[in-house]
Amino acid sequence: MKNSFTIKINFTGGIISPGDLMHILDAAALSGIKQVSFGLRQQLFIEVANEKYNKLAETLKGKDIAFEVDTDQHPNIVSSYPAEEIFITKTWLSEGVYKDIFDAFDYVPALKVNISDSKQSFTPMLTGNINWVASDSLHFWHLFIRFPKTNAIYEWPDIVYTNDIAVLTKHIETVIKNSDKQFYDAPEPDGTLLYSIVMQQQQYNVKAAETKVVFPPFMLPYYEGFNRVNNRYWLGIYRRDEKFSVAFLQQVCSLCLVTKIGQLCSTPWKTIIIKGIEEKDRNLWDAVLGKHQINVRHAANELNFQVEDDCKEGLALKNFLIKHLQQDDTRTFGICIGIKTRRKSEVFSSILVKKKPLFTVGGVDFFSRYDILCAKDFNPNERTGKIFSSNNYKWMLPEQLRRAIIGFYAHKENGQQTVSIKKPKKEAPLKEEIPVWIHQCTQCFTVYDALVGEPENDIAAGTLFENLPEQYCCPLCEAPKEMFTPINKLSLVFKEA
C-alpha cells in the first residue's frame, strides 16, 4: 500500500497568481508539508502522507483550488509566456494575447495543449498533442497535431486566427476522443481525415499557410539568477533536487504582493521566474534568498538537463552524469540533455539518455541498459530518433555522452542539415593507454564484459569470453557466439540509425 499521495495543481500557461499560490502553500503548511516541486508542464506537485491527505484536500477544496490526485487526466496548457519580455523580442505575441487565449478556454483540456511563440526555444513547442505555434502573420497560428499515444505529427494546412484557438482545440479534442481509435493510439493516424472531419463540421477564421514553420535553432538561455531587462530585473530560481521550501515560497509570494508584482511564472525547466523587480526592491529579494540559502548561480551544464517529473532515479542519473561532465570540464552550451526512465514519458531534449530493461517480469524491469539518441539536427523540437550509442552499461554513459556532445559541436560547425553519426576520431592520448578488451555483438552492438559477466544469465563476473559455452548467444538479439568480435573498451562501435 502506498504511504503517500501526489497532488497536482495546474497553472494555466505557467502563470501563477501570488495570492492563489499563497493559499495553496498555507494549506500545505497546515498539513505539515515542508517542500513542493514544479513539473515539466508548469504544474505544482505536493507529496502528502496518507494520514495528512484528508486535511490538505479539504482545505484546498475550501479555497476552491482545483487539483488532481495520483493522476494526470488534465495535463495543463503549457505556454511560452514565462519567456515573454525577457527571452523573446520582436514578436507580436504579447502578455495580453496569451491571457486572452487562456481566458477563452471554457473547459479543462484532457489532451496536452502547447501555446508557443515561434521566436523562442526556451519552451518546447511540440510536446503537446495540440500544439499552437505563432506564425509571422499577426494573430494567426500554425497548428501541429501529435496524435495521442503515437509519434505521428500532422501539420494543419491552414493557419488559424487567435480568437478561434480555444474553440478549435475543444473541437479537435472531441473528435479525437470520439474517434474509436482512428486517431487515439492508432498505428497510422490520418491527419488529413481529422482535418476534413473538423473543418466540415464548423467554420473557423483560417487562411492557407503560405510557408511551413521553421523552428529556430535551440539555444537555451541562462534562466537563473538576477538579470536586467530595460529598467527592471527578473529573477530565475532553480533547485538542484527540484524541491522548493514551502516557507521560502511563502516569503516569495508575500514579497510579490508587497512590491506589487502581480504574477510569477513556472517554467518547463521546473523552475520559477519573477519578472518586473524594481531596482529599489532588489535588496529585499537578496535578503529572502540569503535567509533561505538559495543559490542562484549553478553551472550551465546542470541547468540544461530535463528529467521526468517526480523521478528519483532520473535525478540520480542526472547527478552522476553532471559529476563526470564537470570533472572533464565538458562544454554543453546550446544542448538540452534529457533523461528518460519510463516507457510513456515525454522528455524535451537534443540528446536523450534512455533507459531500457533487458527483460521485464510482472511489470518489473531487470538488468537495464541505456541508449543515447539524438534529435534531428540536435533540435529538441524535432523527434529524438537517431541512435548514437546503444546498450550501454551505466558506467559507460559519461564517455558516450561526451562523444555525443562532441558530435553536436561538429554538426554545428559543419552546418549539416541532417544528423550524421560517425565514430569520433581518437584523440592523441596524454599518456599511453593500455587496451581493455571486451567482446561486442556485430548485429546489435551489445557488449560482453568479462569483468561484469552476465549475472542475469548465471554467468559470473570474471568469466572470460573464451570460456563461455559454445551455445552462448547475445542476450538481446540472440546472435550466436561467433558473431561477437573483440574490441578495445575505449573505442566502442556506435550504431548508425
pLDDT at 324: 93
Q: Is the dihedral of CA 310, 311, 317, 321 positive or negative?
A: negative
pLDDT at 382: 78
What is the pLDDT averaged over residues 464-487?
83
What is the CB neighbour count within 10 angstroms for residue 19?
A: 12
Q: In the structure, what pLDDT confidence band is assigned to residue 154 with cuts at 50, 70 and 90?
A: very high
Q: In the structure, what pLDDT confidence band is assigned to residue 491 with cuts at 50, 70 and 90?
A: low
CA distances from 138 to 19, 135, 161, 162, 206 (A): 33, 7, 9, 9, 12
Grid cell for residue 101: 487565449
Q: In the structure, what pLDDT confidence band is assigned to residue 417 with cuts at 50, 70 and 90?
A: very low
Contacts 24+ apart (CB under 8 A), 354-361: 355/313, 355/317, 358/456, 358/475, 358/476, 359/456
Q: Which of 60-74, 207-221, 292-306 has the lowest mean pLDDT?
A: 207-221
pLDDT at 496: 36
User: Could you report the per-residue pLDDT of 37-79, keeping only the tens digit for each?
Assistant: 999 999 999 999 999 999 999 999 999 999 999 999 999 999 9
CA distances from 451 to 391, 434, 455 (A): 17, 16, 11
User: Could you report the per-residue pLDDT of 323-372, keeping only the tens digit for each?
Assistant: 999 998 898 888 999 999 988 788 889 999 999 887 777 667 778 899 99
What is the pLDDT averaged over residues 142-146?
96
Q: At what angle do helices 165-177 and 191-201 cross, to 10 degrees?
A: 120
Dist CA 172 CA 167 (whole Å):
9
Q: In the structure, what pLDDT confidence band is assigned to residue 455 with cuts at 50, 70 and 90?
A: confident
Dist CA 439 CA 262 (whole Å):
61
pLDDT at 2 over 60: yes
Dist CA 443 CA 483 (whole Å):
7
What does the radius of gyration of the chain's CA atoms come to, in whole angstroms? 25
- More confident: 438 or 141: 141
pLDDT at 278 over 60: yes
What is the pLDDT averaged over residues 405-417?
79
Grid cell for residue 390: 546503444
Dist CA 26 CA 308 (whole Å):
27
pLDDT at 384: 65
What is the pLDDT averaged over residues 403-432?
61
Q: In the structure, what pLDDT confidence band is assigned to residue 149 with cuts at 50, 70 and 90?
A: confident
What is the pLDDT averaged over residues 386-405?
91
pLDDT at 289 over 90: yes
Q: In the structure, what pLDDT confidence band is assigned to residue 427 with cuts at 50, 70 and 90?
A: very low
Exposure on the CB side of residue 250, measured as CA atoms within 13 A: 15
pLDDT at 363: 67
Average of per-residue pLDDT values in the chain: 88
pLDDT at 142: 97
For the chain, domains (ranges, CATH) are 88-208 (3.30.413.10), 301-414 (3.30.413.10), 437-488 (2.20.28.10)
pLDDT at 220 over 90: no
Exposure on the CB side of residue 367, measured as CA atoms within 13 A: 14
369 closest CA partner among 482, 477, 484, 488: 477
pLDDT at 444: 62
Dist CA 93 CA 102 (whole Å):
13
- More confident: 420 or 300: 300
User: Could you report the per-residue pLDDT of 165-190, keeping only the tens digit for each?
Assistant: 999 999 999 999 998 788 988 888 99
pLDDT at 473 over 60: yes
pLDDT at 51: 94
pLDDT at 424 over 60: no
Dist CA 192 CA 261 (whole Å):
46
pLDDT at 195: 96
Q: In the structure, what pLDDT confidence band is assigned to residue 435 with cuts at 50, 70 and 90?
A: low
pLDDT at 416: 47
pLDDT at 420: 38
Q: At what angle do helices 312-327 and 397-414 cross, to 10 degrees?
A: 70
